Structure 1
Amino acid sequence: MRVGICINDSAGSGIGNYTKELVSQLENIDSIEVKKIQIPAYEVPVFGSYISASYGVQQRLKQYENQVDLFHLPSQTQAAGLIRFETSIPVVVTVHDIIPLVSNYDNILLRTFAQVYERGLQNADGYISISEHTHEDLVDRIRITDGNSYVVYPSITVENYQESASESRLAEMGISKPYLLYVGSQTSKKNVSTVIEALKDLPEDITLVVVGSPGLIPGYLTKYSARKHGVRGRVIQTGFVDVNLLSRLYESALAFVFPSNYEGFGRPPLEAMANGTPVIATSATAVPEIVGDAAMLCSPDQPTEWSDAVLTLLEEDNQREMMIKKGYNRLNQFNWEDCAQKTVAIYEDILNNTTS
C-alpha cells in the first residue's frame, strides 16, 4: 500500500512529533510504502501556517494523486486543503483536538481558521482521533458516522529522556528544590493561573517552574497572576529548554502539575511519568482518560484542590512512591509500534470501504 503523508516543518511540537514517530514506525512495515509529501511552510507571520495548511496541502495532493493509494493528513488543520478538492484517492485525517470549535477560545484568528478546516474535515473519508474525548467532540461537531471514525492513542518517545542534565544547571537558572513543574504554553486554556493561586497556600520555599514559550501576552498574564496572588518571586519562567535539561527538571520536581481547561490528549503528564515524577492533573476533558489512576486529579478551577494535593505528596511519602510506580505502569498503555499497526489497519479499512 502506497501512503502519502503530509509533512509540515512548521507544525507544532506535539503534531510534529506525532508525524515523525508515526512515519518512522510505518517505514518498518513491509506492506507500507511511505511517500513523504512536504508541505511548504510559507514565511508569513501569523498567517503562514494557515496558508500552508490550505493552499499548500491542496497543491501537493494534486501532484501526488497518481503516486499513492491513500492520503494521510496528520493534523486537522491540514484538512483546510480539502475544501473544493475532488480526488478519487481516499483521505484520512488525524484529529488531535477541535478545541477552537467546541470551547470559548480566546484566539479569534485561530477560531476563525478552525471554522475553515471544519469544512474541509467534512470531505475526508476517515478520521483518527487521538483520544475518546476528541472522538466524541468530532462526532458531535462534524456529525460523522462511527463507521469511518477511529481512536488510536499516540505515545511519547521515552528514549528522549534517558540522559538528563546535571543538577548544577538548575542552580545556574536560579531553580532550587522543592519546586512544582509545568511544561507547555501559557495561553488561557492551559490555566496556569490556578496553580499560581494555589502557591499562596503552600510553604514559601515551594516555587513553580514554568517551561515553554511564554508568548507575549500570555507570558505577561502569568507574571500578573503571580503579582496578584503575592507569589511573584516564586514563579520562574524558563522559556524553551533542551531535552536533557527538561529531563532533569522533571526528575528533580516535587510534582508535575497540569491544570489545563481543555486537552485533546495531554502528552506532558506522560513525559513526567517517564521521568519518575508524580503527576497532579486536571480532571477536565481528555486528561483523566490518558492518565488513568496514575495521577492525582483536581478540578481546573479549584486552587485549594491543587494545594491540598501538593501537601499530600509532601506529608505522605507512600503516596509519592505509589504515584511514581503507577506512572511507570501507565506508560505501558502507549507505544508507537502499536499506534502504527492500528493506523495501518485503519488504512486498509478505509480503502475497503471506499472501493467496495
Structure 2
Amino acid sequence: MSATPADVGGGALFCPLLHDLCCVVAMPLSSPASLALELRRRLPLGLDAPTSAEVLIDATALDTGHRDRGIGRYVHGLIQAMGALERSPEAALLRLHPDASPLPRKVDLKAQGPSDAAIDSPFPTWTLRRPRTTHLGRFLLNELRLARELRRSGAKLYHATEPWSAPVGPGFKTVITCHDLIPLQFPEHYMGKGHRYWQVYHHYMGLRDRWRALDHIIAISEATATELKQRFNVPDERITVVPNGIDHGHFKPASPVAINDLKQRFNLKSPFALYLGGYDFRKNTELLIRALAQLPSSTELTLVLAGGVDAQMRAAHDALAKKLGQAHRLRWLGFVDDRDLPALYGAADFFVYPSLAEGFGLQALEAMACGCPVIASDRSSLPEVVGDAALLANPGSAYGWGESMSALLKDTTLRERLREAGLKRAQDFSWERCARETAAVYERLLASTF
C-alpha cells in the first residue's frame, strides 16, 4: 500500500490552497459576492453529483499516483466488472476534478500502465472538487468535508476503495477496502521520517477508533482480515474477504511469436528469472541477489528486474551485486508497458516474489495466469493466493531461495507441473467474482437498518 513519493512528499500540505487564498484576498473586487465567487473559482471545494445514485464508488485512485500501482489495478478491474454484472448496483463513480489531480496527462500511449485503458462502465461520474495537494492533504480535507458532502448528495452507501477517504456519520453507510496494514507491521521503514502521511493517517484512524466505526470492511485476503482482527479487534461479522481478480482476457499465455518478439526487443536471453514490482523494504528484493550468490558460478541464470525503481535503490542493489560477484547476472528493465507483460512473463523461466508482506500479491497471480512457474514467499497473503501451484520459500533465507531457483532450473518436469497448476489456480480469481461479491456486500448493507 506504500504511497508514491510524488504524492506523499514532506512539503507543506496546502501550499496550492494558501497561494490561491492569498491571491484572491489581494485582488480588487467590487463586492463580498464577487469575493465569494472568486474564492469558489480559485478554491473549488465540493462534490458535484449531477445524477442520483444509491452507491458512490471511490475511483479517485485512477487520478493519483496509485493509478499505476496495485490499488489502481483493483479499482479499474472492480469498476469494469461491476458494470458488466447482470444485476449491477445503482452506482456512481467518484473522480477527482482534473484540476485536483496530481498526475500529468499521459500523452505517450507507448508507455501504458495497468489502469490507463478507458473504463467501459455504465456508471455516471460524480466529481470531487479539491485543491491539488498530497495524499495527506486530501485525507484531511475529506475528513473535514466528505461526510457532509455525502449526506447532501443523497448517496446511501459510500465505498472507500483506498484508505484516504473513510468518512462515517449519520445518513449514509461506509464500506472500506483494506488492502493491507504493512506500515504498522514495519513502522521503522514506513512510519518514520519522510512518511508523514502514514504517521498521521494511522495515528488518526487509531485515535478515532475508525476501523471499528466503519459499517463494513472488505479485506482483499485472509491475511489482511486477520491483521484487522488482531490489531483493532474488528468483529468477524464486520469483515468480508473478497480476493482481488485478474483480467484473463489480457493475462494469458502469450504466443511463441509474441515471446520471441519481446526477447528480441529487450535483448533477453534464456535462462532468466523475472521479478516485477516495487523495491521498497517489504519487497525484499536484495534477497534475490543473495540467492544468486548461492548458485554455482557455472550456473547460467540472469535475474531480470522490472518495474520502476529510484536511483538510490538501484545503486544499492548494484553495489550488493558487485560485492557478491553477481553484477554480471543482473539486468534492469525499468517500467514495462502493460501490453508487454504477458509475453514477459511467458519468456521467463520462472517468476520470483520474495516479499516479507503483501496484502494480496497480484504479480504472482498474473505470472501464473500467463503460464510462468512461480517461487513465492511463504509469508502473509502469498500462500493463500498461490496455493499449491507454486514453490514457497522463506523470505529470510537466501540459501532456501537459491535451492528453489536451482531446482526449477534443473527440473523441466517440475517447471511444467507448476506451469499447469498455476494456470488452473489463476482461474479461481477474476474481477467478475470480485465485483459480484463486492456488490453482495453493498446489497446487505443497504438492506440493513440505518
Q: TM-score, normalised by structure 1?
A: 0.90
Cα offsets for 1:297-338 (capped at 9, x unmatched): 000011111111122122222111110111011112212222
Residues 161 and 124 of structure 1: is their aligned pair in 2 closer, same or farther, counting only changes over 3 Å? same
Which shifted more, 38-47 or 274-283?
38-47
Residues 44 and 174 of structure 1: is their aligned pair in 2 closer, same or farther, counting only changes over 3 Å? closer
User: Could you say what secondary structure the match of 2:189 adopts?
Assistant: coil
Larger Cα Rg: Structure 1 or Structure 2?
Answer: 2
Query: What residue number does 1:69 align with?
Result: 156
Partner Cα distance (1:313, 1:204) in 2: 12
Partner Cα distance (1:240, 1:36) in 2: 29
1:112 aligns with 2:204: no
Query: What residue number does 2:58 align with?
Result: 6
Q: How does 1:1-356 map to 2 (within 5 A)?
A: 2-8=54-60, 9-10=63-64, 11-12=66-67, 13-29=69-85, 30=87, 32-39=89-96, 41=100, 43=102, 48-56=134-142, 59-65=145-151, 66-79=153-166, 82=167, 86-107=169-190, 108=192, 109=195, 110-116=197-203, 118-119=205-206, 120-161=210-251, 165-202=258-295, 203-355=298-450
Does the 8 A contact of 1:281 with 1:296 survive in 2?
yes
How far is 1:103 from its partner?
2.7
Partner Cα distance (1:345, 1:207) in 2: 46
Does the 8 A contact of 1:258 with 1:280 survive in 2?
yes
How far is 1:117 from its partner?
5.8
Does the 8 A contact of 1:154 with 1:336 survive in 2?
yes
Cα offsets for 1:273-318 (capped at 9, x unmatched): 1111000000011100111000100000111111111221222221
Residues 72 and 303 of structure 1: is their aligned pair in 2 closer, same or farther, counting only changes over 3 Å? same
Which shifted more, 107-116 or 334-343?
107-116
Does the 8 A contact of 2:294 with 2:398 survive in 1?
no
Residues 337 and 168 of structure 1: is their aligned pair in 2 closer, same or farther, counting only changes over 3 Å? closer
Residues 122 and 218 of structure 1: is their aligned pair in 2 closer, same or farther, counting only changes over 3 Å? farther
Unpaired runs of at least 5, structure 2: 1-52, 105-131
How far is 1:347 from its partner?
1.6
Cα offsets for 1:122-144 (capped at 9, x unmatched): 43111000000100101111221
Does the 8 A contact of 1:118 with 1:142 survive in 2?
no
Letter in 2 for 1:296: L
Does the 8 A contact of 1:177 with 1:253 survive in 2?
yes
Query: What residue number does 2:6 align with?
Result: none
Partner Cα distance (2:140, 2:386) in 1: 34
Identity, % of aligned positions:
31
Partner Cα distance (1:174, 1:113) in 2: 45
Does the 8 A contact of 1:95 with 1:127 survive in 2?
yes
Partner Cα distance (1:213, 1:57) in 2: 32
Partner Cα distance (1:31, 1:246) in 2: 30
Unpaired runs of at least 5, structure 1: none
User: Could you say what secondary structure the match of 2:392 adopts?
Assistant: strand
Does the 8 A contact of 1:73 with 1:93 survive in 2?
yes
Does the 8 A contact of 2:147 with 2:169 survive in 1?
no
User: Could you say what secondary structure the match of 2:250 adopts?
Assistant: helix
Which shifted more, 221-230 or 318-327?
221-230
Which shifted more, 237-246 or 144-153?
237-246
Which shifted more, 249-258 or 67-76?
67-76
Root-mean-square deviation (CA, aligned residues, Å) is 2.4
